[in-house]
Structure 1
Amino acid sequence: MRPSRIIPWLAALALAGAAAHADIPKRVVSVNLCTDQLAMLVAGPGQLVSVTPLAANPRTSAMAEEAAAIPVNHARAEEVYLLKPDLVIAGRFTDRATVDMLRRLGIRVEEFAPAYALSDVPDRLTRIGALLGQEARAAELVDRFNAQLAELSSSTQDRPQAALYYANGYTSGDASLAGQILRAAGFDNVATGMGYGAIGALPLELLAMADPDVVVTGNPYPGASRSEAIMDHPVVTALKRGRVTGTVTDRNWVCGTPYVLQAVEDLVALRRAVEAGQ
């Protein structure tokens, strides 16, 4: 696989400075993994004062190295309040008690819904740019994201069949960020053909009957997990035997940031390997 072109320009933008505005929030706290990374990409120097511990975990965060230099919070209202933020950015599923308490204390809280489509990435970047007064920085990220996605996306008519298969036997259809990543890379998703929209449990029997060209499984976490044991089931093992396989690396798949392009690029390489073996 050729060296990635995704990470260098994102890293450069993450480290670059941004123009200051008199009215932008000066102390921003993020209490969600995905808003952590959006803020790190867009915030000006010193503007982002705290992120969650997940942001510094390389298994879950594509920006773990950048997050290591930022103080952490655990999304508790008391500790966030003591940081004296003038803006808190949260996820739609951030603990409601924390969000409600901070608002009662007079702190501005802005919530972001999870990304369910690749088109949500520019939307999230534009919004975080407006909130942080870093519109030009966000616009540059959006332009680069759109250009790179167009370059990576496949328009081929002869698309290999792929199945996403995670812990507890879950899969994702095209109405999900993971499903759209798969489709952009040039695969047809067997789950979509079975009627799955976003996410749902895929019985092993249906997976076996679909007989996809490739099975893309989750990347197991250290230690034993009954939920992940299904990925080693004989049915899954048989479907992988003698075929090209892939794994989902959570840090590039779970959040609607430009790092989803790395997931697309990885799957493009996987598709080419599948096609070469056919």
Structure 2
Amino acid sequence: MTAASARCRRIAMAATAALMPAFVPAAAAADPPPQRVVSINLCTDQLAMLMAAPGQLRSVSFLAGEEGTSVMVEEAAQYRPNSGQAEEIFLMQPDLVLAGTYTAKATVVLLRELGFRVEQFTPAASFDDVRENLTRMGRLLHREQRAGELVAELDKGLADLAARHPPAKTVAIYYANSYTSGSGTLADAIVQAAGLVNLGDTLGFKGMTRLPLELLISANPDIILEGDSQYSAPALAKANFSHPAFRALSDRAIAIPDKYTICGAPFTLEASRMLQRAALGERSETP
């Protein structure tokens, strides 16, 4: 073999070696499922608890154990609670941290600087967002089949609601400090899934904004959706609810637990069911 041909052969062998990773079977190249998952956001807490394999999820935020905010209080008791501080998360040595886009930025930045994998989820503002978040969580946890089951459960619930055809009544979402939800919010999606009309949407409101009491009264909604936030003492945030003009409409008010409207999941549809039953004049038992 000449020196030139030997040189060509070495070049060819080197090129072949460089290309070899591209031909590694997909199963061998794929990342293994995470085994030490920690969630530091209420919504990712619940998505993870809905689909994690036994032993895969190690810790959830303390909010997951709060009756007023979490649908999955009993499930959360099985996991170590955390307060979302970088120091405590570091000591757990997770291989995946689940967070929200509004999770304390300093915590997320520090964890990433320390080499931890942090995946952030945007809060759902529609049921399409809920499907997307369920599917993404399934991929991250390597629980695609379970995610598919939850998406199917969500779609069936939406179909069942759509099949009932309640009268097209107007719903005014009215929270503390006179806040309401217009288009582009999960609360608006909940009202629409019930087959009803969101007053905030018809008024052209987008996102969370304030609805003056005078405008609420003049709009004369059929149903007023209240949250169930409780205050241990009289608070200005709830002053409008004691106003005589509002009390005159109190028979139209329905209190829906906040835990059903904070995070997007199949259980969110319970808020739509409660609204729909109210529109149909059916008795509703608060879960």
Shift of 1:157: 8.2
Give SS of 1:200's match.
strand
What letter is aligned with 1:220? S
Q: Is the 8 A contact 2:172 2:200 kept in 1?
A: yes
Post-superposition CA distance 1:167-224 (Å, at most 9, x none): 0000011321001101111221111111112210001111011011111112131412
Is 1:161 the counterpart of 2:161? The answer is: no
Shift of 1:155: 7.4
Post-superposition CA distance 1:112-140 (Å, at most 9, x none): 00111121111111000000010111111
Is 1:260 the counterpart of 2:256? The answer is: no
| 1:245 match | 253
Which of the numbers 213, 226, 234 marks the counterpart of 1:217?
226
| 1:102 match | 111
Q: Distance in 1 between matches of 2:194 and 2:172?
A: 13
Q: Distance in 2 between matches of 1:146 and 1:180?
A: 14
Give SS of 1:138's match.
helix
Q: Which of structures 1 and 2 has the larger relative contact order (alpha carbons within 8 angstroms, sep 6+)?
A: 1
Shift of 1:22: 7.9
| 1:44 match | 53
Q: Distance in 2 between matches of 1:64 and 1:153?
A: 29
Percent identical across equivalent pairs? 45
Shift of 1:233: 2.1
Give SS of 2:99's match.
strand
Is 1:82 the counterpart of 2:72? The answer is: no
Is 1:123 the counterpart of 2:123? The answer is: no
Give SS of 1:90's match.
strand
Q: Is the 8 A contact 2:256 2:274 kept in 1?
A: no
| 2:81 match | 72
Give SS of 1:162's match.
strand
Q: Distance in 2 between matches of 1:203 and 1:160?
A: 20
Q: Distance in 1 between matches of 2:51 and 2:167?
A: 38
Structure 1 spans left out of the alignment, 5+ residues: 1-20
Shift of 1:154: 5.7
Aligned pair count reads 253
Q: 1:148 to 1:85 in 2, by over 3 A?
A: same
Q: Distance in 2 between matches of 1:103 and 1:220?
A: 35
- Largest Rg, 1 or 2: 2
**TM-score (normalizing by structure 1):** 0.87
Give SS of 1:111's match.
strand
Q: CA RMSD in A?
A: 1.8
Give SS of 2:270's match.
helix
Q: Is the 8 A contact 1:244 1:270 kept in 2?
A: no
| 1:182 match | 191
**TM-score (normalizing by structure 2):** 0.84
Structure 2 spans left out of the alignment, 5+ residues: 1-29, 283-287
Alignment of 1:51-70 (within 5 A): 51-70=60-79
Shift of 1:23: 0.7
Q: Distance in 2 between matches of 1:94 and 1:246?
A: 31
| 2:7 match | none
| 1:231 match | 241
